Structure 1
Amino acid sequence: MNERQMRDWMKESLGRLKTLRDEIRVDIHLAGMEARDKWKELEPVMRDAEKLADEVTEVSQRTMEDLVERFRGFRESLRHHRPSGQT
């Protein structure tokens, strides 16, 4: 992957993180206190990701992949533990 492709990939990944963040914010309203506490730990990572998106290194790429997966995993845990009858 050349530098241009990696930069584009990082911007796309940041976009995925922002979408996940927005979905999580909606889900968090339906979640319990434990989930809210976990989100308070995870949400500040978004600022780091925005800075990371400007870096074009293999380390930043791996870190971004990890962040996207952490956000996805958290969102899925919220949806999995949602009380029945809520979507």
Structure 2
Amino acid sequence: MNERQMRDWMKENLGRLKTLRDEIRVDIHLAGMEARDKWKELEPVVRDAEKLAEEVTDVSQRAMEELVEKFRGFRESVRQHRPGGQA
């Protein structure tokens, strides 16, 4: 993957991460206190991801992949444990 492709990939995944963040914010309103506390720890990670998106390295690519997966996992956990079950 060349530098331009890597930058495009990072921006695309940053977009995914921001979408997940927005979906989680909605789900958090329906979730319990434990989920809210965990979210307070996790949400600031998006700022870190914005910095990663500016870097074009294998390390930043792996870190971005891990962040997106972490957010997906958290979103699914919140959805499973909120009143009414999954969305």
> Please, what TM-score do these two structures have when normalized by structure 1?
0.96
Contact 2:7 2:56 (8 Å CA) reproduced: yes
Does residue 42 of structure 1 match 2:42? yes
Q: CA deviation at 1:83?
A: 1.5
- In structure 2, relative to structure 1, the CA distance for the partners of 1:68 and 1:85 (3 Å cut) is closer
Counting helix residues as a fraction of each chain, which structure ranks higher? 2
Matched, 1:59 2:55: no
Structure 1 unaligned regions, length at least 5: none
* Aligned residue in 1 for 2:16: 16
What count of residue pairs does the alignment treat as equivalent? 87
Hey, which bits of structure 1, 4+ residues long, moved more than 4 A?
Answer: none
1:82 CA displacement: 1.7
| Coordinate RMSD, CA, aligned | 1.2
TM superposition shift of 1:84? 2.1
Identity rate of aligned residues, in percent? 87
Structure 2, unpaired ranges of 5+: none
In 2: Cα distance, 1:81 partner to 1:48 partner: 27
CA distance in 2, matches of 1:16, 1:64: 10
